[in-house]
């Protein structure tokens, strides 16, 4: 039996490269807006708060990106499972791809579901990191509470 292939589509390849370029530009933009070393040396609390703002922007950007990827992977996994082949009939692929049927297609569908769940977790990690960091930043903004000695334990002797 001769192997069956699906031809690569130039428009799909361009879309995939455009998505990768947007993600790359977001990473470069995030790195270019980081607080400089002088601010970290002079006022580390202010530098931490600026980093916290950047982390919120990264988190709010990552959630739709990873959410879209996970929705696409679930949709593709369902189509592969229903059709029993990967890539599903009528799907455009960026490069020439061999059609897989049977157990291999099932494993591809399972892998897509696992990757979709993993991308949801990856979307939530920056949000949770921002949440923890914002709690830490709010603690840094409060003055330290001084411990007051309890009466009757010799504290009066220390004040003399």
SS3 137: helix
Into how many domains does the chain fold?
1
Given a cut of 70, whether residue 149 has pLDDT beyond it is no
Q: Which tens digits make up the pLDDT trace of 64-90?
A: 999 999 999 999 999 999 999 999 999
157 in any annotated domain: no
Read off the pLDDT of each residue in 53-67 and give the average, rounded to a whole number.
Answer: 88
46 in any annotated domain: yes
Considering the entire predicted model, what is its pTM? 0.75
Contact partners, residue 91, CB within 8 Å, separation at least 6: 6, 76, 79
Rounded CA-CA distance 26/143 in Å is 36
60 in any annotated domain: yes
129 in any annotated domain: yes
Looking at per-residue pLDDT, the higher value among 157 and 127 belongs to 127
């Amino acid at each position: 039996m001769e192997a069956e292939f699906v031809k690569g589509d130039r428009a799909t390849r361009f879309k995939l490269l455009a998505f990768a370029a947007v993600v790359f530009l977001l990473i470069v933009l995030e790195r270019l807006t980081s607080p400089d070393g002088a601010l970290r040396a002079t006022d580390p609390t202010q530098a931490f708060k600026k980093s916290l703002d950047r982390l919120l922007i990264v988190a709010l950007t990552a959630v739709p990106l990873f959410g879209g990827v996970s929705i696409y992977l679930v949709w593709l996994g369902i189509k592969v499972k229903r059709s029993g082949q990967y890539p599903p009939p009528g799907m455009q692929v960026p490069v020439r791809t061999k059609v897989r049927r049977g157990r291999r297609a099932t494993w591809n569908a399972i892998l897509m579901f696992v990757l979709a769940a993993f991308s949801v977790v990856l979307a939530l990690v920056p949000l949770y990191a921002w949440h923890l960091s914002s709690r830490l930043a709010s603690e840094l903004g409060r003055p330290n509470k001084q411990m007051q000695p309890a009466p009757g334990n010799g504290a009066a002797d220390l004040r003399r």
